[in-house]
Structure 1
Amino acid sequence: MGRRPAPAMGAGTSPLEWAVAALGAALLVAAVGYLGWHGWTREAGPPDLTIEEVSRGTGQGGHRVAVRVRNVGREAAAQAVIGGELMEEGGQVAEDAETILDYVAIGSSREAWLVFTEDPAGYALRLRVKGMARP
């Protein structure tokens, strides 16, 4: 029997390529497994939106109050109506404004602006979620 010829350079798969392929497959299996486990074990529940003031500014359209809305709940929220009220000392509402966020995913945050004609600096600002829907 004769000797086999040596493989040409670049022919076949090197051990490094096999190691990288195995690492990629392991990461893929781990990611799919985690997502499946997370989806299977996550408890159902409604969206839970929190609002915080981020900044204030003035523009051509009036006085803007930037707010950050976070969904800390277990379901996404759609058509979330975010309201702000400028409150006088006696508890009367001097002015209100609202905006609508089309979609707030689970664990995400969105920024929006409430626009007032009055300067919010002279009032107490009350922020609240007025309503939302299931996507």
Structure 2
Amino acid sequence: MTTSSNNRHTEAVKPHWVEWATGVVSAMIVLTMIAWIAGETLLQEDVPPSFSFTVSAVTPVENGHRVEFDILNRGTLTAAAVSVRAEITEQGQPVEDAEVTFDYVPGNSKASGGVVFTGDPTGRNIRLRAMGYTDP
């Protein structure tokens, strides 16, 4: 209970030990998070974007075949306006190509997308590569 005298408020009872424990644990969590974020900021090396691709599915659609894929950015820096070219090749020769642009691909993460080919890519080689990107 709080008492007032001479415009001063004072606690009539000392805080319970649970209040102190909660305050100490909360302060430790906050300080740990601040130290972790500061450490990541100061020690993390800036590595330019580096992309790899994995085809996840090939699905027939109304106007052809949709090839869904994941793009993985192994660098620590984010890439914006990532242009990706997909090609169907047969015996090393390109048969058909398509392009898609990702708004951004964050560092150390992946994004998913897809392209639509008019021809069936089944039994053919699907080649994916990044054509370019901008720094955000």
The residue aligned with 1:27 is 29
The residue aligned with 1:73 is 75
Distance in 2, matches of 1:13 and 1:95, equals 74
**CA 16–60 in structure 1, closer or farther in 2 if over 3 Å, else same:** same
Distance in 2, matches of 1:102 and 1:88, equals 30
Identity of counterpart residues, as a percentage? Answer: 31
The structure whose residues are more often strand, as a share, is: 2
Q: How does 1:36-75 map to 2 (within 5 A)?
A: 36-75=38-77
The residue aligned with 1:4 is none
SS of structure 2 residue aligned to 1:56 = strand
Deviates more, 1:67-76 or 1:42-51: 42-51
Q: CA deviation at 1:18?
A: 1.7
Is 1:102 aligned with 2:103? yes
The residue aligned with 1:92 is 93
The residue aligned with 2:125 is 124
Q: CA deviation at 1:21?
A: 1.8
The residue aligned with 2:5 is none
The residue aligned with 1:3 is none
Q: Deviations over 1:46-102 (max 9, x none)?
A: 11121111111111232111110111102100000111100011x221100111110
The count of residues paired between Structure 1 and Structure 2 equals 126
* One-letter amino acid of the structure 1 residue matched with residue 32 of structure 2: A
SS of structure 2 residue aligned to 1:38 = helix
SS of structure 1 residue aligned to 2:47 = coil
Unaligned runs of 5+ in 1: 1-6
RMSD (CA atoms)? 1.6
TM-score with structure 1 length normalisation? 0.86
TM-score with structure 2 length normalisation? 0.85
Q: CA deviation at 1:13?
A: 3.1
SS of structure 1 residue aligned to 2:95 = strand
Q: CA deviation at 1:122?
A: 3.6
